[in-house]
A and B are shown apart, each in its own frame.
Chain A
Amino acid sequence: MITGRFLAKLDRLGIAFIILMLAVAIIVPVLALAIPAKSAFAIPPYVVALMGKYLCYALLALALDLVWGYCGILSLGHGAFFALGGYAMGMYLMRQIGARGVYANPILPDFMVFLNYKELPIPWWGFNFFPYAMAMVMLVPGLLAFAFGWFAFRSRVTGVYLSIITQALTYALKLAFFRNDFGFGGNNGLTDFKDIVGFNVQADATRAALFSISAIALVIAFILAKAIVTSKYGKALIAVRDAESRVRFLGYRVENYKLFVWVVSAVIAGIAGALYVPQVGIINPSEFDPGNSIEAVIWVAVGGRGTLVGAVLGAIVVNFAKTYFTGVFPEYWLFGLGALFVLVTLFLPKGILGWLSSLRRKPTPAPPASLAERSTIAEEGGSAQ
């Protein structure tokens, strides 16, 4: 049993996480739909949508943790993969509107009629077909990540340089998608969705179902990520993170290791975006903003880098705080977020999870950060002789 072997590798925290997520996936829809609205246990529909959104962010954080926490690739452009997945889903949803749009054109979405398109542009072909759209959700971010990673890792672009060009990537995509003639709705993006596989997007039951699907997707992605990082391959990944050139000198093809995990991570991010769009009802080019991608990095840092569960925890905690504080003190949230970046990097380098585990057992294993530090110093020392 392959699954059995995976489960054997899961630690207690991971098992607890999977059980919790599956429980949430069942309980939340029940509380939202079956319990009368007046009951104290009932969950209002907007909360379901909000929690669904958090889960999508958690999925993005998980993807980011896979590359940053285990392979040392700090991507400041994961929002691009997220948004591309979101756009693929958005295109499917736009095609589902059909003749119900303002201009009642059965083929062309409203913005195309408005911009005087005569026929559907080729990139939009096939998006009315759900399996094709879902394939695109994974293929588009995956292929972009493959092309980008193939070039970047082969020429050994690492560290800060890599972070900067990932940021340039998402910035370039943002500029492109902002253009009206790029053919994806320009700055208004895609919105006004009606149906998803025949169900009304706005309906409470659909919302609840999307929430459950997000939770299940999170569990599947978690198991996949855990399987990757606990495998032999994962060991090599961690070695790459801590001392890339040593691994290369030992004969490993470092770029292939990096490329694989990079593409997997991009695909997960794309799926997160695809689940996000129907739940928030809109996708526009501001999702490509470099600021969003950097914010996703801080979720991982807050929860605990290189722990997977921590990334999910961080995404949910930070976004919950964001929702709360932007509601109560809107002008101070940026202070809070900024301070969070600084304080977490300074005082909680291992995140909430690392901090909790260090509270529990005194003798802590060597943290990844200091390991990396020691190895670079050793290498520098070695090369300076």
Chain B
Amino acid sequence: MTLARLFAALFLFCCLAAASSAARADPLDDTLGLFLDDKFPQTEKAIGQLAISGAPTGTQILEALADNRLFIDKASKTIVFKNAAGDIFSAKTGEKAANIDEGALKKVRVNNGLRSAIDAAIGSMTLASPDPAKRVAGADAVFKSHDPKDLPAVDAALAKEKDQHAAQALRQARAAILVLSADAPEADRLAAVGLLKERGDQDAQGLLDELSQKAGEGPLKAAALAGLASIKSRLALWDIVQNLWYGLSASSVLLLAAIGLAITFGVMGVINMAHGEMVMLGAYSTFIVQSLLPPAFAQWSLAVAIPLAFVIAGCMGILIERLVIRYLYGRPLETLLATWGVSLVLQQLVRTIFGANNRQVVAPTFMSGSIEVGGLSITTGRLWIIVLAIAVFTALQLVLRATSFGLRMRAVTQNRRMAAAMGISTGRIDMLAFGLGSGIAGIAGVALSQIDNVSPNLGQGYIIDSFMVVVLGGVGNLWGTLLGALTLGVANKLLEPFVGAVLGKIILLVFIILFIQKRPRGLFALKGRAVET
């Protein structure tokens, strides 16, 4: 009897349990139901539930929500999402939804608070992704949000994690959560501080900073402070490396802009004030190439633009030399004035043709983005400019050292009259050297168009800096120009964090004015009898 009653009770219990599980066949329905209300607190709850639900469509729903692609279908009271192309899918099944009336769709609203909740939820969900790279990204997201709610998910993921890199990221994420949770055991928190110290980036610094302020006196606070100090010195070191990199990048631009100037100044002893405008012409050639090429070839626009810019700027240089400069031989100061006039005309010409506004030049995809190396962030575009600068420098050295034209050019640089006596046509060398220098300025313009505004005043901003490089480096040989560009670029960027960009520049200009007192002809001066008084 009692047994029968027991069985009956058991049966009843089973029935009830079955009934309840039939009624709540799928927790996803409940979660999606919360979205239907379209109220922020409900939506937030739904996001939290989705994160731990393990639903196959979970990530897609959250991503759609973040991108404003999640909709309420008012006709059927269901939640649907669109993909980027605009096709509509059911949120529950992830299958393509047919017969949906676009007019009945209502966007699920999100605010900034929800967005960060979405990011954290996606982060914890991606912890379970099969792709290790995604798991690392997910762990990083958790690290940034360090929400104690994610701890179980992190622990679970850590238990199954096989990939070393991902495991490290997960341990760090776990540390980030633990370090600030007051109820965790102190030993765990101390270990977490150690992990954060090992990670040693700005986020870790922020966490330890928070901990050192919150924690009471004791080993934890001491550990936090020690970790903080170690991270600070590490970051300071990376900061210097980063500034060195910026300096190198600035130097490459300076080198490209100045090297042509060094050639014309070296060979002919005249300063070409229109040199900046050659750079500007190069930048505009890039713009022209980009607007003429069909979009399919956009990746190749620079490959076309570099030779084109060289030819355009080079021809313009030869034109200037033939029409103006050769009549002013032996009058370097007058040449300076005349080329300044040419620069004004060229600027106004470009302004008349293309308008005074800045033109946009789009970087090809292989030149956008950046690479992280330790605490160093390297912009790909800048990296390519350094490569270009090295290539141009090498090519130019080869031309000067290994070709007959280069030999003649060096002869004219060293002693014009003697070179003429040996049968070198100095007029022709002048013309070609001017064309070469201008053409390289054009190539510099292609590089600059990637990092600066393409405007008629583009060249003006670089001309004085280029002069400084030439003055510092001297005209004896191209290594001087390289050294000058490196010195100025790196010194400028190393000074910048301490004194600001403008004051740094002023300090350098004053330094050059003083330097030129000691070495009036630059670092690599020409020596010998030909050097004029």
Check if A334 sits within 8 Å of B334, measured CB to CB.
Answer: no
Check if A383 sits within 8 Å of B529, measured CB to CB.
Answer: yes
Task: Please tell me which stretch of B1-9, B221-229, B396-404, B504-512 contacts chain A, meaning at least 4 of its Cβ atoms lie within 8 angstroms of it.
Answer: B504-512
Check if A161 sits within 8 Å of B502, measured CB to CB.
Answer: no
Contacts of B362 in A (CB 8 A): none
CB distance from A329 to the nearest CB of B (A): 11
Question: A161-B520, A342-B324, A345-B337 known; A169 and B513 CB under 8 Å?
Answer: yes
Give the distance in Å from the alpha carbon of A294 to the alpha carbon of B467 in the complex.
Answer: 15
Q: Which of B273, B335, B418, B471 contacts A161 (CB 8 A)?
A: B471
The residue of chain B having its C-beta at the shortest distance from the C-beta of A169 within the complex is B513
Q: Which of A165, A176, A294 contacts B337 (CB 8 A)?
A: A294
Check if A179 sits within 8 Å of B503, measured CB to CB.
Answer: yes
Mask of A144-179 contacts with B, CB within 8 angstroms, 1/0 = 000010011011111111011101110110011011
Check if A346 sits within 8 Å of B338, measured CB to CB.
Answer: yes
Is A188 engaged at the interface, CB distance under 8 Å to the other chain? no
Check if B520 sits within 8 Å of A379, measured CB to CB.
Answer: no
Is B514 engaged at the interface, CB distance under 8 Å to the other chain? yes
Question: A341-B337, A384-B418, A384-B529 known; A346 and B328 CB under 8 Å?
Answer: yes
Check if A383 sits within 8 Å of B468, measured CB to CB.
Answer: no
Interface residue tally on B, bucketed by range: 35 or more
Give the distance in Å from the alpha carbon of A331 to the alpha carbon of B344 in the complex.
Answer: 12
Check if B348 sits within 8 Å of A161, measured CB to CB.
Answer: no
Check if B418 sits within 8 Å of A338, measured CB to CB.
Answer: no
Interface residues of A in 30-49 (CB under 8 A from B): none
The residue of chain A having its C-beta at the shortest distance from the C-beta of B348 within the complex is A334
Check if A161 sits within 8 Å of B352, measured CB to CB.
Answer: no
Q: Which of A157, A339, A381 contacts B520 (CB 8 A)?
A: A157
Is B333 engaged at the interface, CB distance under 8 Å to the other chain? yes
Q: Which of A76, A155, A159, A301 contacts B517 (CB 8 A)?
A: A155
Give the distance in Å from the alpha carbon of A342 to the alpha carbon of B468 in the complex.
Answer: 25
Mask of B437-479 contacts with A, CB within 8 angstroms, 1/0 = 0000000000000000000000000001001100100000000
CB distance from A379 to the nearest CB of B (A): 6
Is B530 engaged at the interface, CB distance under 8 Å to the other chain? yes
Is B407 engaged at the interface, CB distance under 8 Å to the other chain? no
CB distance from B320 to the nearest CB of A (A): 9
Check if A346 sits within 8 Å of B509, measured CB to CB.
Answer: no
Contacts of A169 in B (CB 8 A): 509, 513
The residue of chain B having its C-beta at the shortest distance from the C-beta of A171 within the complex is B464
Q: Which of A171, A338, A383 contacts B341 (CB 8 A)?
A: A338
Q: Which of B269, B344, B510, B529 contacts A341 (CB 8 A)?
A: B344
Check if A346 sits within 8 Å of B332, measured CB to CB.
Answer: no
For chains A and B in complex, what number of residue pairs have CB atoms within 8 angstroms?
Answer: 151
CB distance from B263 to the nearest CB of A (A): 15
Mask of B318-353 contacts with A, CB within 8 angstroms, 1/0 = 000000100110111111111011111111110110
Check if B338 sits within 8 Å of A171, measured CB to CB.
Answer: no
Check if B337 sits within 8 Å of A245, measured CB to CB.
Answer: no
Contacts of B471 in A (CB 8 A): 161, 164-165
Check if A379 sits within 8 Å of B467, measured CB to CB.
Answer: no
Check if A161 sits within 8 Å of B516, measured CB to CB.
Answer: yes
Check if A294 sits within 8 Å of B328, measured CB to CB.
Answer: no
Which applies to chain A's interface (DSSP): helix, strand, loop or mixed?
helix
Contacts of A377 in B (CB 8 A): 330
Check if B341 sits within 8 Å of A342, measured CB to CB.
Answer: yes
The residue of chain B having its C-beta at the shortest distance from the C-beta of A159 within the complex is B332
Is B217 engaged at the interface, CB distance under 8 Å to the other chain? no
The residue of chain B having its C-beta at the shortest distance from the C-beta of A68 within the complex is B333
Mask of B495-529 contacts with A, CB within 8 angstroms, 1/0 = 00000001101100110111011101100000001
Give the distance in Å from the alpha carbon of A70 to the alpha carbon of B271 in the complex.
Answer: 22
Contacts of B418 in A (CB 8 A): 384
Question: A172-B510, A175-B506, A384-B417 known; A340 and B341 CB under 8 Å?
Answer: yes
Interface residues of B in 338-374 (CB under 8 A from A): 338, 340-349, 351-352
Is A19 engaged at the interface, CB distance under 8 Å to the other chain? no
Contacts of A178 in B (CB 8 A): 502
Is B532 engaged at the interface, CB distance under 8 Å to the other chain? yes
Check if B533 sits within 8 Å of A244, measured CB to CB.
Answer: yes
Is A380 engaged at the interface, CB distance under 8 Å to the other chain? yes
Give the distance in Å from the alpha carbon of A338 to the alpha carbon of B270 in the complex.
Answer: 18
CB distance from A182 to the nearest CB of B (A): 9
Give the distance in Å from the alpha carbon of A74 to the alpha carbon of B335 in the complex.
Answer: 12
Give the distance in Å from the alpha carbon of A47 to the alpha carbon of B369 in the complex.
Answer: 58
Is A354 engaged at the interface, CB distance under 8 Å to the other chain? no
The listed residue with most B CB atoms (<10 A of its CB), out of A148, A156, A172, is A172
Check if B533 sits within 8 Å of A167, measured CB to CB.
Answer: no
Is A298 engaged at the interface, CB distance under 8 Å to the other chain? yes
Interface residues of A in 241-277 (CB under 8 A from B): 244-245
Is B415 engaged at the interface, CB distance under 8 Å to the other chain? yes
CB distance from A267 to the nearest CB of B (A): 21
Give the distance in Å from the alpha carbon of A153 to the alpha carbon of B327 in the complex.
Answer: 29
Check if A345 sits within 8 Å of B468, measured CB to CB.
Answer: no
Contacts of B330 in A (CB 8 A): 373, 376-377
- Between-chain CB contacts (< 8 Å), 9 pairs: A151-B513, A163-B271, A165-B471, A335-B345, A335-B348, A338-B342, A339-B345, A342-B338, A384-B415
Give A residues with C-beta under 8 Å from B. Answer: 74, 76, 148, 151-152, 154-161, 163-165, 167-169, 171-172, 175-176, 178-179, 244-245, 290, 294, 297-298, 301, 331-332, 334-335, 337-342, 344-346, 349, 369, 372-373, 376-377, 379-381, 383-384
Q: 3 nearest interchain CB pairs?
A: A341-B341, A338-B344, A338-B345
Can you add 7 more A-B contacts, CB < 8 Å, to A337-B344, A373-B331? A157-B520, A160-B269, A164-B271, A171-B509, A176-B503, A179-B502, A342-B341
